[in-house]
Structure 1
Amino acid sequence: MKRTFLLILSAIYAMFMAYLCFYYFSKGETHSYQVAFGGIFCGLIPLCLIFFTKIKFNLPIMISYFAFLFASQYLGSILDFYRLGWWDTFLHLLSGALLAFVAIALYERMTHPEARKQISYWLVFLFVLAFSVFGGVVWEIYEFSMDQFFEMTLQGGGNFDTMVDLLADTSGAIVIAAFAAFRTKKRFNMS
């Protein structure tokens, strides 16, 4: 059931972006159709994970992924919510939290339940924080690269924009990493 739901959600998002791509291409709106074209591929990532890997993420993470894509690509880039000064920072805060939840899911899948009893809650905190912040850094490298090689303006505010984005990513990550550490410590004390 969960797999079928993710397949349907992924297909719907990819088709929505494909529709927008053709619509904006026919209107000659280059920026919007390019964003929608990228959205097609982002929407297909879960399909690729389902068909070509054994990686499985829980449903709330996948729904959050699509909500984030919608907020970023459609609302932010196509409908120009990024003109609101706080929208980009808000999404980076959310992405930091979302990546931290992905880190928790990976940690739980990659460690044996018995082994988790021996792992320090500080290590869990650092893993979740580092994973999430690294994701934010990779995104900023992507923005920088697109600006340099394709003369885009993803880093609208230059270094200031990059640093605010990284601070927002880190803030979202710290909250969830602290939650993960607290939960780990509580479980460890209960055993």
Structure 2
Amino acid sequence: MVKNGSNISEKVLNVFLWFIVLSMLISLALTTKTALTATTTKAAGAAWFLDIEIVAGLLIVMLPKFLALKLKVYLPPLLYSLFLMFIYGAIYLGTIYHFYSIPYWDKGLHLISGALLAGFALSAFGGLISNEGIKHIPPFFISMYAIAFAVFCGVLWEFYEFTCDSLGMNLQRYMKDDHLLMGRAVLMDTMGDLCADFIGALIFAVIAYVRLRKDSRWIEKFFFHRNL
């Protein structure tokens, strides 16, 4: 079984994790100060709500690491690094600092999530197939499975956004400035997200195919297992 000698070392990953945690803690302190010194109830309420979002982001990024230490489970560094990049970009930069207003920011996150989900597909694969059995499965099939898994999860996410939009939200960007979009413009956000999911998963799958052709044990970098 592959141990911690993965492409992204535990040391570098920990530095990245602490960078994220410290930046969130600084933002939490500054936002709390804003809430306490706000001159209007509306401004104070907005600041306190932002505090809640920051705390939620902190819990989300720390939870996998905490569970891995508590349960003594090996946390695949590459998989966790993609997870951190996605959460930091989506919750911290995207939601808290409104980076979603930057063109294609959302599509970039879908690229990352596509790769993340493809990597998680390999983790699930390891839980379903024995190590000996994996050696006899063609790398092309494993790569195609990773793409299919990631895109399927992307479709489920679009189902979720569609359901929320049915309740009055605008997650699929079918409205602009409170006006309904028409024709092809309505499809651009959803199809763009799915295309980005596919491209992210495809890039990961190509890398996985090349690495698995050289060494079938490379897939073990994504397996969760108990640390002895």
Please report the TM-score for the alignment, with normalisation by the length of structure 2.
Answer: 0.63
Name 1:23's counterpart in structure 2. Answer: 32
Does structure 1 residue 78 correspond to structure 2 residue 87? no
| Paired residues of 1:18 and 1:37 also in contact (CA < 8 A) | no
- Count of aligned pairs between the two proteins: 185
> How far is the alpha carbon of 1:134 from its aligned partner?
2.1
5 Å-filtered alignment, 1:1-191, equals 12=21, 16=25, 19=28, 23=32, 26=35, 27-29=44-46, 32=50, 35-36=53-54, 38-43=56-61, 45-46=63-64, 49-50=67-68, 56-149=74-167, 151-157=168-174, 158-187=186-215
SS in 1 for 2:45: coil
AA matched with 2:141: L
Taking the aligned partners of 2:173 and 2:108, their CA distance within structure 1 comes to: 16
> What letter matches 2:205 in structure 1?
A
Q: Superposition RMSD on alpha carbons, in Å?
A: 3.7
* 1:156 maps to amino acid: R
CA distance in 2, matches of 1:146, 1:40: 25
TM-score scaled by length of structure 1: 0.73
Distance 1:108 1:38, change over 3 A: same
Bigger radius of gyration, 1 or 2? 2
Distance (whole Å) between structure 1 residues aligned to residue 170 and residue 72 of structure 2 = 37
Q: Residues of 2 paired with 1:95 and 1:24: CA distance?
A: 34
1:176 counterpart letter in structure 2: F
Instruction: Provide structure 1 residue ranges, at least 5 long, that are not aligned to the other structure.
Output: none
Moved more, 112-121 or 124-133: 112-121
Residue pair 2:172, 2:190 contacting (<8 A) in 1 also: yes
Query: Contact 1:57/1:105 (CA < 8 Å) preserved in 2?
Result: no
Distance (Å, rounded) in 1 between the aligned partners of 2:56 and 2:204: 29
1:41 Cα deviation (Å)? 5.0
Q: d(CA) in 2 for partners of 1:179 and 1:115? A: 21
Distance 1:169 1:94, change over 3 A: same
The structure where helix makes up a greater share of residues is 1
Which ranges in structure 2 are unaligned for 5 or more consecutive residues?
5-9, 36-43, 175-185, 217-228
Q: Is the 8 A contact 1:147 1:155 kept in 2?
A: yes
Among all aligned residue pairs of Structure 1 and Structure 2, give the percentage whose two residues are the same amino acid: 31
Q: Return 131-140 or 31-40, whichever deviates more.
A: 31-40
Distance change >3 Å, CA 139–CA 109, structure 1 → 2: same
Give me the whole-angstrom Cα distance separating, in 2, the residues matched to 1:152 and 1:33. Answer: 22
Q: How far, CA to CA, are the matches of 2:158 and 2:51 in structure 1?
A: 22
User: Which residue identity does 1:146 align to in structure 2?
Assistant: C
